[in-house]
Every structure is written in C-alpha cells, then in structure tokens.
Amino acid sequence: MMSVKIRVTGIVQGVGFRPFIYRIAVKNGLNGYVRNMGDAGVEVLLEGKGENIEKFLKDLKEKKPPLAEIYETITWSLEGKKKYKSFAILESSEEAELSGSAIPPDIAICGECLKELRRLEDPRYEYFFITCTNCGPRYTIIERLPYDRKNTTMQEFPMCSFCKSEYKNPFNRRFHAQTVACAKCGPKACLTTKKGELIRHKNPIQEAGRLLSEGLIVAVKGYGGFHIATATTEDEPLVRLREVKHRRQKPLAIMARSFESMKSFAEVSKEEAELLTSYARPIVLLNKSNNYFLSDLIAPGLHNIGVMLPYTGLHHMLFDKVDDPAFVMTSANPPNQPIIKDNDEALRKLGSTVDYFLFHNRQIDHRCDDSVIRSHDNHQAFLRRSRGYAPAPIILKEKGKRCTLGLGGELNNTACVLLGNKVFISQHIGDVENIETRDFLKNASEHLIRLTNSKVETVACDLHPKFTTTKLAQDLAEENGWQLIQIQHHYAHIAALMVEHGVKEIIGVCCDGYGYGLDGEAWGGEILFCTWKFPDFERLAHLQKQPLVGGDLATRYPLRIATGILHRKADVQSWLLQNQQHFPYGEKEIEIILHQLEKRSKIIETTSCGRVLDAVAAVLGVCYERTYEGEPAMKLESAAIKGRDVLKLKPVINGGVLDTTQLLLEVFENRRGYSKADLAYSVHAYLARGLAMLAIEKALENNVKTVGFSGGVACNKILASVMRKVVEVSGLEFLVHEAIPPGDGGLSFGQAVVAGFS
Ligand code: ZN
Ligand code: ZN
Ligand code: FE
C-alpha cells in the first residue's frame, strides 16, 4: 500500500476536473479525496497499490476533460497507514497558499447539452440556460474563488431535487456543475417592450426571434452583457439601427444560424472553421462570398464581415421559428462606454434605441464582450481577446522578476497581471477616455488581482502624459505604494511579441496609428531593436515624417494628410477643390490648410504607418472621413484585396528612413491610369517590402536572427503576408502574435512584461 498527495494547477476549476479525478480514482481502485484549493488548484490524496497510482497518473495526463488545462503536477509520498475507506470529493478548502490558478473563461454550449435542448422528452428541453461541466458561463458569473455555486451569481437559484440529483452523481455530466439549472429552478427569460412592460408569451425567446426576423430591434441579454440584435437581409432595420446607435459606417457583427447558413454568404477556410466552432466561439472576420446576399449596411465598404455562431441555448432558440440566415448581434454599449450588463441599466440606456428587450434574471458579475479574430492563413490575429479566452493566462517560458499590473494605453484597452510565468489579460475594456471606462478598467484590474491572489509590486503604463490610464497608474502607485514604470508604446508592442515567443532578441517592425515617442513626437512606423535587457531598446529606423495638418483633424479627415504629403511635389489645389465637399468648411478650409503648409510652422509630424494608409485611401477616393478607428486603412485593404502590384516601386531608403512621399506621389499621378484595386495593392506591397528590407538590413547589422511584426497595422493580412515572404526568403525567422492582440489590446501585456522583467 502506498499513499501520495498530488497538487495540480492550471485550469482545473469549473471544468469538471474533480469529477474526472473521482472517476479515475474509483476506476483504479484508489481511496482518498480530491478538493479545490481556492486559487491554488486542486489537491488529491490517493491510497492504494503503487501500480494503480501509476495508472491514475497516466489517466490524469491522457484523459483529462476537454476544457481542463494542466500547468503543473506536483506529487509527493506520504508516511502513515491506511486512513480512507473510499474516495470522496471534499468541500472546497478556504485556505489559499499559492497563487495564480486560472479562472476558466465562458464556454459555448456543448454538443451534448445542445442535443438535450432539442430532445422533447429531456427535462431541459428548450431550457435556454442548459449547461454542464463542459460548457456554460464561468468568468462572467464568478464573484470569488473557489469556484463553487455559492461564490457565483447562480447562488440565487437553489437547485431543484432533479438538478441536485445530477449534481451529486459522480457519473453524471453535471456532477458538481456549478451552473446546473432547469426551467423549474433556474434563471428565466422574459420579453418586454422598450419601456419594460412584460409581454406574456409561452416562449419569449422564440417570440423575440420572430420579432427580429420582422426587422424589429431587440436588446438581448447574454452571458457577458447585452447585444443589440436585428435582421440582416433587409436594409431598413440597419438604417434605423445605425441611426439610433450613431454608427454610420462601423461594421456590425452578426450571428449565423448555423455553419451551413454561414457558407451561403461567406467564404470559410479550414482554419476559420476551427476558430468558429471552438469552445470560445469568437467572432471571425470572413471574406464575403461572391453570392453575398445580406445587407451591404452590415459592413459597408469592407470585403469581410464579422461572423459568430450561436454560443448559448438562448441563441440557438432565437432562430427556431424563423428562417433568417443570421441576425446582427452587436455589443450594446453607448458611445465610449462599456457593454451594458444589468437589466435596469439596459432599460435606462437602451430604451430609446431598441423596440424590445429579451431579459433573463441571472446577474452578470463581470461584463465581457465577444472576441474578434482574423485568420491569416496559418496564424490567428486577435482584434479583440475577450469572451472565451479571458482571463485564462498566457504561459511564458520564463518567470518575471516582479508581480506587475499593466494598464495599457487609451484605445481598445485591456489590463493585465504578470505573476511568475503567467500573464492574465483582462477582457476587452474599450476606449478609456471617460469615467465609465476608467472605472471598468480599475474594477477589472482589481478583480484580476483578487482572483489570482497577486501581490502587485509594480504598475506599468504608457509614456503619454495625458492618457487617462497614465493618471490611473499614478494614482494606484501612490495609493498602494507600488513602483510606477512608464513604457514607450511601440516598445511595449515589440517586447510583447518577443516575450510571447520567448526569443532573446528581435528586430521589430511596429506599425500603428499613433504612439507617444521618446522625443514626445507622434510615432507609428518604427523599427526597433529589443533584447532581454529590459527596459532598454533602440529605435533603428522609421517611416518618413509627414505633417499632420490640424493634428487630430488630420486623423479624422485623411485628405489633410494627403495634402500635407503631396503639396511640395504636386499641384494639389485644383484636385482639392474638386473634392471640397469632403472638407466640412469646403474651399475656405482648403485655403487655410495650404497656407499653413506654406508657412510650415507649428505642424506636428508623424511617422505613423496608419496615416500613410489613410492618405492613400483619400487619394483613391476609398474613404474621406474616419468615423471609426482604422476605417480608411481597413477600407484600403478591402480595396486592395483583389489587386496586383502594378507600380512595382523600389523602396527608397535614406539613412534608416523609408520614403513615403514618392509613394503617394506615384499613386496620385497614376490615379486615373490604373484600377483602385491595383494601386491600393501596390501601396501595400511597397510598404511591406520597404519595412521588411529595412528590418533585414538592421538584423544583419546587429547579427539578429528574428524579425517580428506588431502594432494594430499587423492585423492587415496583405502587409503581414508580403512582409513574411520577404523576410523568410532572406533566411531570417518572421514572428507575429498568436496569443495576444497585435493592436493596443496587447499593450498592457507588453508593459507588464517590460516592467516585470526589468
Ligand atoms: Zn454542456
Ligand atoms: Zn432544476
Ligand atoms: Fe499601438
């Protein structure tokens, strides 16, 4: 007889891990117990024959539940004689010794639950919140660890005798499933008017689906917050939705009724299919197919569309009584505010936006937006890493020196905690410009610190003196006695890439819209040399500086940037006058712009790659006004998708500076000679080749073997793939982000690793 104790850490709570341990212990004839250890994983005590313990350990490794992830298993032998007569699952331990066990993200409805949802004789037939140990909400309902029902927002729903019998049966799929519920004991759904008046219907969810199909706008409460939903095949509901949401052009995500129906309007590759049907069920950007028949108002001017599959019983049931191929499902958030999660808040803030509400009465403890991913052939680029992923940690190859909180930048923000070799990135927070998003960031950070039991020593933020997050970092540092470290924006991007892959040095190409430079200027097209000598880096090269006439106005109206770049080389006046309707103040405004450029005084300059793409979009007439972040550049990529490199321009490089003036001039002069698609593609090819050549040159000079690409512009598939080709042909390794967003959603990670490894 032998006796051992095993400590398992990883994603082992809320994923059916203890029942699994129970089953393999019983199967192998072992006695003892298993219990949750708060944030320290689970503890197993085994008594039995040595060979059976061996078999148990083998099963532990090979047969673990689909959602479980094991980071570490520590086993030690115990003295003493036989104490246990059977194997038991003990109550959770209140003690929390170690830190950093993982909290599972919300998981899409599993195949077995879906079958039960549809089986007439099943006790949970058409019960919208059907879940089991393999599926259902987790992060959004967990108030504290250990993950037991009493510590979640399911505590308000005592189990009925049927649910309890399943919960207690170790051989049932719902054994210790904290979210188990049925129509009798669980949360209920209800349909109301926009004023909150109850509409009686025996199946409010199917009725809501019918209203959607008719073109009405319904706010639908889900796992992590409200969606605003409507039909996709007619323009009228979308015109109305865009009007009330004040979204003129920004693409809206849709939910397809099934995988089959999705293929009727979009192209789906093997990689994309895998992402779409994964446990996380993210929104995936798919190319519209040649037979695309949904409204053009869903993603105006873009070649792709954000699609997801239903991920709860409720979503599936919305499609029951209608034959719509898809519904719009966009996050319900008022401008610059976080996604709405509470019923009363929804009534207050959305009452004038929607026609109906589909509520349920389970509280959402933590809001969480849908994730958005784009597949670049064999690589995935996160545009937003949130539901289904957050807050599961990213495991690094090395341990950080100090526990660090990273607060990110300003737009598309996240927070993150570095603890040892794990980085916990929060859900999507959004643009942190006002009090609501600032508070959301603060709460999400505090929750993350609590759940991971982190003892933060350092807080990291951006170098920008005026960011809300910089101010928040200063306040937190003062309040808690933490050390404050400010990190340059593009360095954070490249450091994130380097640490994500565990490479020791890298020449990083970082392209985005804007970041505060070491010199206080506006950077955004940078070649940096980074090593593990944190926090040191070198800026080796960049794009040519170009004037931003009118500062922020130039970002909003890209014709201003184009004018700034072209005015010395070409006669732009008559061209501008032809386009005067695209300037809010017409001719007068053009006159002032040209006058400012002549004087050349007090004009801010930028090396931003995003701004160059914006300028090209304006010259080609693809986009004249930026109504959402990245719009001109995204539309330019869409224009380029079927183009060829007709200009075949040779990159002009002078002393570590890649020329962009000649590039824009060529586009300007040839704008009538070639198609928009070919010119747009030629620009992508020039920039990708030029940046790659600069990076290769610097890699050879510094004897570095790896080149990487980060920043929001790295979501651009054409740039990433051309750059990859050029770099790989030269024999160097080319890296992009896989697990964290290349855009500013990955910034908190970069800041935390720079500060935490310093
Ligand atoms: Zn399930
Ligand atoms: Zn029940
Ligand atoms: Fe950035």
pLDDT band for position 137 (50/70/90)? very high
The arithmetic mean of pLDDT across residues 471-485, rounded, is 98
What is the pLDDT at residue 170? 85
**Which listed ligand is nearest to 130 at the C-alpha?**
1
DSSP letter for 339, please: P
- Tens of pLDDT, residues 627-656: 999 999 999 999 999 999 999 999 999 999
What is the pLDDT at residue 39? 66
Domain 189-360, CATH 3.90.870.40 — does that match?
yes
What is the pLDDT at residue 94? 57
Cis preceding-peptide flag for 741 (omega within 30 of 0): no
- Percent of the chain scoring above 90 in pLDDT: 89
For residues 78 and 41, the answer to whether their CB atoms sit within 8 Å is: no
Long-range contacts of 62-66 (CB under 8 A, 24+ apart): 63/20, 63/24, 64/17, 64/20, 65/15, 65/16, 65/17, 65/20, 65/133, 65/134, 66/134, 66/279
- Å from CA of 162 to ligand 1 middle: 17
**Which listed ligand is nearest to 132 at the C-alpha?**
1
C-alpha separations of 585 from 154, 338, 564, 615 in Å: 56, 34, 18, 19
Q: Indicate whether 82 pLDDT > 90.
A: no
Long-range contacts of 238-245 (CB under 8 A, 24+ apart): 238/295, 238/297, 238/298, 238/328, 239/297, 241/217, 241/328, 242/297, 244/217, 244/352, 244/353, 244/354, 245/330, 245/353
A 10 A CB-CB count for 161 gives: 8
The arithmetic mean of pLDDT across residues 740-758, rounded, is 98
Give the count of alpha carbons within 13 A of 640, CB side only.
Answer: 25
Q: Which of 386, 342, 313 is nearest to 122 (CA)?
A: 313
The protein residues having their C-beta less than 5 angstroms from ligand 1 (an ion) are 110, 113, 132, 134-135
Domain 543-735, CATH 2.70.70.10 — does that match?
no
> What's the token pair of residue 746?
């990955």
**Which listed ligand is nearest to 188 at the C-alpha?**
2
For residues 313 and 129, the answer to whether their CB atoms sit within 8 Å is: yes
**Beta strand residue intervals within 210-316, DSSP E:** 218-221, 226-231, 254-256, 283-287, 304-308
- Å from CA of 228 to ligand 2 middle: 29
- Å from CA of 542 to ligand 2 middle: 62
**Which listed ligand is nearest to 313 at the C-alpha?**
1
- Å from CA of 372 to ligand 2 middle: 34
For residues 135 and 113, the answer to whether their CB atoms sit within 8 Å is: yes
- Å from CA of 130 to ligand 1 middle: 7
Residues 6+ apart with CB under 8 A from 392: 11, 69, 102, 103, 104, 105
- Å from CA of 513 to ligand 3 middle: 7
- Å from CA of 411 to ligand 3 middle: 9
- Å from CA of 514 to ligand 3 middle: 6
What is the pLDDT at residue 602? 81
- Å from CA of 13 to ligand 2 middle: 22
**Which listed ligand is nearest to 714 at the C-alpha?**
3
- The C-alpha atoms of residue 274 and residue 469 are separated, in whole angstroms, by 36
C-alpha separations of 352 from 217, 227, 331, 356 in Å: 11, 15, 16, 10
The arithmetic mean of pLDDT across residues 720-725, rounded, is 98
**Which listed ligand is nearest to 177 at the C-alpha?**
1
Q: Indicate whether 601 pLDDT > 90.
A: no
- Å from CA of 158 to ligand 2 middle: 8
- Å from CA of 508 to ligand 2 middle: 55
- Å from CA of 65 to ligand 3 middle: 38
- Å from CA of 295 to ligand 2 middle: 41
What is the pLDDT at residue 97? 42
**Which listed ligand is nearest to 312 at the C-alpha?**
1
pLDDT band for position 519 (50/70/90)? very high
A 10 A CB-CB count for 52 gives: 17
**Which listed ligand is nearest to 115 at the C-alpha?**
1
- Percent of the chain scoring above 70 in pLDDT: 98
- Tens of pLDDT, residues 264-316: 999 999 999 999 999 999 999 999 999 999 999 999 999 999 999 999 999 99
What is the pLDDT at residue 335? 84
What is the pLDDT at residue 93? 61
Q: Indicate whether 574 pLDDT > 80.
A: yes
- Å from CA of 117 to ligand 2 middle: 14
- The C-alpha atoms of residue 113 and residue 135 are separated, in whole angstroms, by 8
Pairing of strands 326-331, 226-231: antiparallel
- Å from CA of 563 to ligand 1 middle: 57
The arithmetic mean of pLDDT across residues 465-484, rounded, is 97
- The C-alpha atoms of residue 498 and residue 330 are separated, in whole angstroms, by 34
- Å from CA of 161 to ligand 2 middle: 7
- Å from CA of 280 to ligand 3 middle: 25
- Å from CA of 104 to ligand 1 middle: 15
What is the pLDDT at residue 607? 98
- Å from CA of 94 to ligand 2 middle: 27
- Å from CA of 225 to ligand 1 middle: 21
**Which listed ligand is nearest to 747 at the C-alpha?**
3
For residues 387 and 243, the answer to whether their CB atoms sit within 8 Å is: no
Q: Where are the domains of the chain?
A: 2-89, 189-360, 543-735
Annotate 281-300 with b (16+ C-beta within 10 A) or e (fewer): bbbbbbbbeeebebbebbbb
- Tens of pLDDT, residues 100-120: 567 789 999 999 999 999 999
0.75 cut: is pTM over it? yes
Return the sign of the alpha-carbon dihedral for residues 558, 564, 566, 567: positive
- Å from CA of 188 to ligand 2 middle: 12
Q: Which of 539, 716, 691, 735 is nearest to 630 (CA)?
A: 716
Mean pLDDT, all residues of the chain: 95
- Tens of pLDDT, residues 483-514: 999 999 999 999 999 999 999 999 999 999 99
Q: Indicate whether 95 pLDDT > 60.
A: no
Q: Indicate whether 327 pLDDT > 80.
A: yes
The arithmetic mean of pLDDT across residues 566-572, rounded, is 94
Residues 6+ apart with CB under 8 A from 226: 219, 220, 331, 332, 339, 340, 341, 346, 350
- The C-alpha atoms of residue 166 and residue 172 are separated, in whole angstroms, by 6
pLDDT band for position 96 (50/70/90)? very low
- Å from CA of 551 to ligand 3 middle: 18
What is the pLDDT at residue 98? 42
Amino acid at 241: L
**Which listed ligand is nearest to 184 at the C-alpha?**
2
Domain 2-89, CATH 3.30.70.100 — does that match?
yes
